[in-house]
Amino acid sequence: MADFSAKLKAPVYVCLLTYGCQMNILDSQILSGNLARQGFVVTEDETAADVVLFITCSVRDLAERKVLGKAGKLNVKRNRRPEVVLGVTGCMAELKGETLLGGKNVFDFVAGTHKRHLIPELILRALCKRVAESEVTSVNAEALERLGIALAPYMDECLPAERKLFAVGRDEAEDSLDELEAMRPRPWQAFVEIMRGCSNFCSYCVVPYARGPEVSRPADEILAELKTLASSGCVEVTLLGQNVNSYGKDLPKGSISFPELLAEAAKIEGLKWLRFVTSNPQDISDELIDLMASEPKICRYLHFPLQSGSNRILKMMNRKYSLEQYLEKVAKLKSAMPDLWLAGDLIVGFPGETLEDFQATLAAVERIDYANNFLFKYSERPGTAASKLPDDVPLEEKKRRHAELMALQGKLTHEHLKSLVGTTQTVLVEGHSKRNRAVLQGRTTHFANVVFEGDPSLIGKFVSVKMESATPLTLYGSFERLPGDEELTNEKESG
Ligand code: SAH
Ligand code: SF4
Ligand code: F3S
């Protein structure tokens, strides 16, 4: 792979705008690290950037429209700075490919989900082109001069028109960016990808098309990364995959399973809290449930998406479990871990969803007593199996069902938070509260959001917080003390 760091003789500012799931957040961190190593300056200030890179999501129509809207706005600003490059990567880039270039489109380059490693080169090609074509004005003179210095060594190589500005699809030149390069804004917390892609083809979902088939990372590579992270002060790790329960099934015989991987991860000194997403109900094993119950480092929060409470709809969604099978797994989980908090995903308004189907979803939510749910209105995605079915629940009705579920889930979430009032919980402090910079924000093992007064030096540390009150989404507490090492794992209650 080309390394530009030796040659970039003036700063080139790149701003990454990230949409979608944790995979994209991690991709954004990896790309930031890679770009920084190659001599680019990563900035959060989009107005100061020479390059804005969109890391996109296609899971719902709205996710795509957000990106296109934002890119359109930035494009207008190019009246003043025509040399600025707008690039696109992530799931929408993979799915729409070259159609995002030319015509009315505003993007200068497209890099698919398997082509992250080509992004630095694509940036330079697009930037050389823009800079060469931009007129100098009083507004951009300084930037053009700076970019001229940075790009001088590349102009001859990058400018020819045949130089491609898009790369999508999978081929032998697979991307193998180093996750250890990731720029993690909170070094005590890390996302670690254990598998890429998905082979499940739920009928509504674009992810298998956008990310390719399921490919597990070799366990030794993951464990080595975890050890390196732990030795540099990381205490909480979230293992990422579209379906972590099928980890390893694509690896050669004799490779370890997800629970085995998790058990190995738990042995790593320094790592205190382990989380993972997403756990597909279809193949959660008893072995995993037993391990979660016996391994104190594994947090008491499980993302376990149901999608619908109606068996008829689950079948049409190509989810490979029935409500009864799901409830059976939940019963096992709760009997092994009475203090486990469950979260889910639900889609309302899937094609053909009747009021009766929707009632079944409401009843399931109430019965399962989720701590949290991510609720979505069905969005038809081109190319998926469900797109062949009529999208026949009117938008107004989808909105109504969504609001009804929100209200129910809101009540359940509030009840969960209230149940912790009066207890003392171990909290990993994440930073200042977004709403009020004067107070700190952190999370419990249940992923409950906690706000309390404390010294900023506590950021990145575990603290014991006494919970005093609960609003619908947040617990308010007071700092008690720094917990002993033995208290870090699992919830500790006192009082
Ligand atoms: N791999 C995860 C889900 C990843 S996508 C799993 O299987 O659980 C995140 C969530 O987006 C899904 O769980 C689903 O609830 C929602 N989703 C996916 N496609 C959607 C669509 N076409 N319309 C609405 N919601 C969708
Ligand atoms: Fe999409 Fe289903 Fe794969 Fe999840 S398991 S990413 S919902 S296809
Ligand atoms: Fe979106 Fe792609 Fe994630 S479609 S949800 S960013 S895998």
| Final residue belonging to a domain, choices 399, 417, 435 | 417
Q: Ligand 2 mean position to 307 CA, how many Å?
A: 10
Residue 291 pLDDT > 60:
yes
pLDDT tens track for 222-245:
999 999 999 999 999 999 999 999
CATH number for the domain spanning 436: value is: 2.40.50.140
What's the average model confidence in pLDDT over 197-213? 96
Q: Is 186 in the same domain as 156?
A: no
Q: Is 258 in the same domain as 372?
A: yes
Ligand nearest to the CA of 387: 1
What's the average model confidence in pLDDT over 338-351? 98
Residue 125 pLDDT > 80:
yes
Mean of pLDDT over the chain: 94
From 201, 206, 320, 376, mutation site for ligand 1 pocket: most ligand atoms within 8 A of C-beta: 376
pLDDT tens track for 255-281:
899 999 999 999 999 999 999 999 999
Residue 317 pLDDT > 90:
yes
Is the pTM here over 0.85, yes or no? yes
Q: Which of 132-136, 361-365, 475-479, 486-490 has the lowest mean pLDDT?
A: 486-490
In short, whether 425's Cβ falls inside 6 Å of ligand 1 is no
pLDDT the model gives residue 173: 63
Q: Would 494 be classed as within a structural domain? A: no
Q: Is 86 in the same domain as 162?
A: yes
Q: Ligand 2 mean position to 284 CA, how many Å?
A: 15
Residue 147 pLDDT > 80:
yes
**390 vs 483, residue with greater confidence:** 390
Residue 433 pLDDT > 80:
yes
Q: Which of 152-161, 247-256, 275-284, 380-389 has the lowest mean pLDDT?
A: 152-161
Q: Which domain holds residue 214?
A: 179-417
Q: Is 159 in the same domain as 307?
A: no
Q: Is 243 in the same domain as 316?
A: yes
Residue 492 pLDDT > 60:
no
Q: Ligand 3 mean position to 130 CA, how many Å?
A: 30
Q: Is 371 in the same domain as 432?
A: no
Nearest CA-CA partner of 105 in 118, 117, 92: 92
pLDDT the model gives residue 490: 55
245 contacts 239 by C-beta, under 8 angstroms: no
Q: Which atom of ligand 1 is nearest to the CA of 242?
A: 1
305 contacts 278 by C-beta, under 8 angstroms: yes
Q: State how far the Cα of 21 lies from the Cα of 490, in Å rounded to an integer.
A: 26
Length of the chain equals 495
Q: Which of 26-30, 170-174, 302-306, 389-393 has the lowest mean pLDDT?
A: 170-174
Q: Ligand 1 mean position to 205 CA, how many Å?
A: 6
| Final residue belonging to a domain, choices 137, 167, 197 | 167
pLDDT tens track for 74-116:
999 999 999 999 999 999 999 999 999 988 899 999 999 999 9
pLDDT the model gives residue 174: 64
From 198, 245, 246, 320, mutation site for ligand 2 pocket: most ligand atoms within 8 A of C-beta: 198
pLDDT band at 489 (very low <50, low <70, confident <90, very high): low
Ligand nearest to the CA of 305: 1
Q: Would 332 be classed as within a structural domain? A: yes
Q: Would 277 be classed as within a structural domain? A: yes
Q: Would 76 be classed as within a structural domain? A: yes
Q: Is 383 in the same domain as 437?
A: no
Ligand nearest to the CA of 308: 1
In short, whether 23's Cβ falls inside 6 Å of ligand 3 is yes
Q: Which of 37-51, 137-151, 161-175 has the lowest mean pLDDT?
A: 161-175
For the chain, give the percent of residues with pLDDT over 70: 96
Q: Would 493 be classed as within a structural domain? A: no
Q: State how far the Cα of 104 lies from the Cα of 93, in Å rounded to an integer.
A: 16
- 3-class SS letters over the chain: CCCCCCCCCCCCEEEEEECCCHHHHHHHHHHHHHHHHCCCEECCCHHHCCEEEEEECCCCHHHHHHHHHHHHHHHHHCCCCCCCEEEEEEHHHHHHHHHHCCCCCCCCEEECCCCHHHHHHHHHHHHHHHHHHCCCCCCCHHHHHHHHHHHCCCHHHHCCCCCCCEECCCCCCCCCCCHHHCCCCCCCEEEEECEECCCCCCCCCCHHHHHCCCEECCHHHHHHHHHHHHHCCCCEEEEECCCHHHCCCCCCCCCCCHHHHHHHHHCCCCCCEEEEECCCHHHCCHHHHHHHHHCCCECCEEECCCECCCHHHHHHCCCCCCHHHHHHHHHHHHHHCCCCEEEEEEEECCCCCCHHHHHHHHHHHHHHCCCEEEEEECCCCCCCHHHHCCCCCCHHHHHHHHHHHHHHHHHHHHHHHHCCCCCEEEEEEEEECCCCCCCEEEECCCCCEEEEECCHHHCCCEEEEEEEEECCCCEEEEEEECCCHHHCCCCCCCC
pLDDT the model gives residue 481: 85
Q: Which atom of ligand 2 is nearest to the CA of 201?
A: 8
CATH number for the domain spanning 103: value is: 3.40.50
CATH number for the domain spanning 191: value is: 3.80.30.20
Question: Which residue has its alpha carbon closest to ligand 1 atom 14?
Answer: 345
Q: Is 9 in the same domain as 156?
A: yes
In short, whether 21's Cβ falls inside 6 Å of ligand 3 is yes
Q: Would 386 be classed as within a structural domain? A: yes
Q: Is 240 in the same domain as 340?
A: yes
pLDDT band at 180 (very low <50, low <70, confident <90, very high): confident
Q: Ligand 2 mean position to 195 CA, how many Å?
A: 13
What's the average model confidence in pLDDT over 405-430? 98
Q: Which atom of ligand 1 is nearest to the CA of 377?
A: 24
In short, whether 119's Cβ falls inside 6 Å of ligand 2 is no
Q: Is 341 in the same domain as 429?
A: no
Q: Would 335 be classed as within a structural domain? A: yes
pLDDT the model gives residue 75: 96
Q: Would 41 be classed as within a structural domain? A: yes
- Count how many domains the chain has: 3
Q: Is 430 in the same domain as 394?
A: no
From 203, 205, 342, mutation site for ligand 1 pocket: most ligand atoms within 8 A of C-beta: 205
| Final residue belonging to a domain, choices 417, 443, 459 | 417
- Tokens coding 36: 């920084």
Q: Is 11 in the same domain as 73?
A: yes
Q: Which atom of ligand 2 is nearest to the CA of 318?
A: 2
Side chain identity at residue 459, one-letter code:
I
